[in-house]
Structure 1
Amino acid sequence: MEKTELFVRIPKERIGVLIGQDGRIKREIESRTGTRLLIDSETGEVTIEVAENPLGGLQALEVVKAIGRGFSPERAFRLFEEDQYLDIIEIKDFVGDSEKAMQRMRGRVIGESGKMRRTIEQMTGAYVSVFGKTVSIIGDPEQIRTARTAIQMLLSGSEHSSVYRFLEREKAKKKNVIFPRMGVGRE
């Protein structure tokens, strides 16, 4: 059977994380997906050789991309679960190529001492990573939709308080879908 190859480039400083101590992370990705990773540590290029399972190749690609976008391997491995996806938002789409503006926007998404990023994660259940010129999200489609909207609000200049209110409303909506009021407190 012929092999398929997928290619992705990740930042050189993330290669060590992708390989892991004694190659542990690389081996785990390979064994969980039935692929072989060929990593060029000079260029940051990763070739994913897919033997049988094309889905495994796509999973490996997404996990490698997530690690390249700043997620820890443990968080990136969430992509092996069913109905979990990676979404990447380009900060420059909101502020152009100005490095100063990009740095300010990264700071807005992260918040003071990481509070905003943590709040988005806690309120949506998604994982969020701010790395380089991107903000990345791992979660199910609903978690990604809510987290993406909150992040886009921040990148578009919304006040942090408006984003908190949005997240509270979304969480309340979700709670009402799961546990609709059953006439509690009515006589």
Structure 2
Amino acid sequence: MIILFTTVEDEKLEVVKKIIEKLEQFTDTKIMYDERTKTFNILPKGQNQYEALKAVSVIRAIGLGFDEQSAFRLLSDEYILDVIDLKTLIGSNPDAIRRVKGRIIGEGGKAKRIIQEYTGVDISIYGHYIGIIGPYDQVQIARKAIELLIDGKEHSSVYKFLDKAEKDLIIYKTSKLGRKGINEIKGNR
């Protein structure tokens, strides 16, 4: 039997504990918190370990600052969680991390909001992590846009990238899925 585990920051601990029962029901898992090691242990009740992996993703998402509604989207097979660790990309200098986070957020939250609107993803900026939740293709586009900002590209260049990526994704989906792809893109499932 496999037991999965994950941790969250102390300030997110109570938030996670509040959703444990609901998460156990949705994922057919048993989730226990170990006070000594400060870890959540996730045990699949049946043979489906994939559901336990989903539970880990939901807990990680909440630990990264996502709200419950966004985190629970990860229970769908259509959604993934992608995490960018700024420390691995730019080092641990607090001023550099603060500057890059400011570029990703943008003035008044504009850059973050535009990335979310173009891609349909949810983005959380927490500590030195950037979390992205959404469908795989859209998450990859959002990640690339964020990486461009991290690399110092102008915001206008990133917005042009998003515009082109959105058009390319529409063309791809319509060519692969026909009319169904068009409806999926528009949200008319």
Whether TM-score is above 0.5 comes out as yes
User: Residue 5 of structure 2 is aligned with which of 2, 7, 17?
Assistant: 7
Deviation, structure 1 residue 59: 0.6
Q: Is 1:56 the counterpart of 2:54 in the alignment?
A: no
More helix by share: 2
Residue number in structure 2 paired with 1:77: 72
Identity of aligned residues (%): 36
Structure 1 match to 2:167: 172
Cα 1:100–1:71 change in 2 (3 A) is same
1:18 maps to 2:16: yes
Residues 1:131 and 2:126 aligned together: yes
Quote the RMSD (CA, aligned, Å).
1.7
| 1:27 aligned residue | 21
Mapped to 2, the partners of 1:119 and 1:42 lie a distance apart of: 42
Q: CA deviation at 1:123?
A: 0.2
What secondary structure is seen at the aligned counterpart in 2 of 1:82?
coil
Q: Map 1:135-174; keep pairs closer than 5 Å.
A: 135-174=130-169
- What's the secondary structure of 1:10's corresponding residue? coil
Q: SS of the residue aligned with 1:32?
A: helix
Q: Which amino acid aligns with 2:6?
A: V
The answer to whether the 8 Å contact 1:89/1:136 transfers is: yes
User: What 5-or-longer segments of structure 2 have no aligned partner?
Assistant: 176-189
d(CA) in 1 for partners of 2:104, 2:63 = 19
Q: Deviations over 1:63-116 (max 9, x none)?
A: 111111111111011111122111111112332110110011111111122211
Distance change in 2, residues 1:34/1:179 (3 Å): closer
**C-alpha distance 44-116 of structure 1, shift in aligned 2 (>3 A):** farther
Q: Which amino acid in 2 is paired with 1:141?
A: Y
SS of the residue corresponding to residue 72 of structure 2 reads helix
Aligned residue pairs total 174
Which one-letter code corresponds to 1:116 in the other structure? A
Q: Tell me, which stretches of 5 or more residues in structure 1 are unaligned?
A: 181-187
Report the TM-score when normalising by structure 1. Answer: 0.86
Offset of 1:40 from its aligned partner?
A: 4.2
Structure-2 change in CA distance of 1:49 and 1:153 (3 Å):
same
Task: Give SS of 2:92's match.
Answer: coil
Aligned to 1:184: none
Which residue of the partner structure matches residue 90 of structure 2? 95
Q: Distance in 1 between matches of 2:172 and 2:93?
A: 42
What are the superposed Cα offsets for residues 102-157 of structure 1, whole Å, 9 maximum, x if unpaired? Answer: 01111111112221111111101111111111111111221111001000001111
TM-score (norm 2): 0.85
